[in-house]
Structure 1
Amino acid sequence: MIRALWSDEKGAAGIDGTYYRLTGAKRGPFPAHALGIWLGAYGKRMLDVTGRFAGGWLPSSFAAGPEKLGEMSARVDEGAHRAGRDPAAIRRLYNISGTFAETADGSRSDLERFAGEVAPRVRELVAAERR
């Protein structure tokens, strides 16, 4: 539905789907450029939907630990293959939540470690993927 409403096709938008129907809807407002639809999916069915339709996958660390990401990402890939899509076209990010704070003794070791080790490594990995 979102893509139909954002489409610059002439005339009203309409969809006669299994679960939702849309008839005579006015299209717009139109985005200035193509917008991808990102899903933060975790279950088997929604990971498949992500692979079939989404422009990106954005799981969060509180719901999907690093040990689960490989299997979950493979399910996204399987959904993409079944839909005739290139799995590499689906962008993937990982939402990591946490808190950085000084300890009782005033130490900032967690923050300093993140700044010194994690952030540079993330930049290296991103740069390698862009090549």
Structure 2
Amino acid sequence: MEALQLANTVGGVTLVGIGVLMVITNPGQNDYEHYATDALTEYLKQEVCPKAPQQLGGFLQSYCKTLIDTGRPQIEQVIAKETIRRNYLLFSIYETELLLPFPVPSYEFGTIGAFQKFYTYEVQEFQKKL
């Protein structure tokens, strides 16, 4: 009986400790904005730049990565403006909707933040109608 009580006590203390750790390490809005900006700029450089149209004599494709780096502060501002954070103390859920002008696709992202890390669980790409 004492072993069971000891196991329950240790289990309870462990759960409380994990809960406190999760509250302390729940990342904030600024952390998410930096994470999302890094992830989006990397995605744009790897996936979008190579597919840039060859119009304008290849100008866009040649300078795509430079344009993304130059626009990084504006990208972070858009992410900050278009993100909704739901804080559940132990973790946070971030929902970001990036509506871009036609013909560029728009995106919706769902991300969980916990233990000072982010886990993007949903990425939806869609075309905005004219």
TM-score, normalising length from structure 2?
0.23
- The structure where helix makes up a greater share of residues is 2
- The structure where strand makes up a greater share of residues is 2
Relative contact order, higher structure (CA 8 A, sep 6+): 2
TM-score, normalising length from structure 1?
0.23
Structure with larger Rg: 2
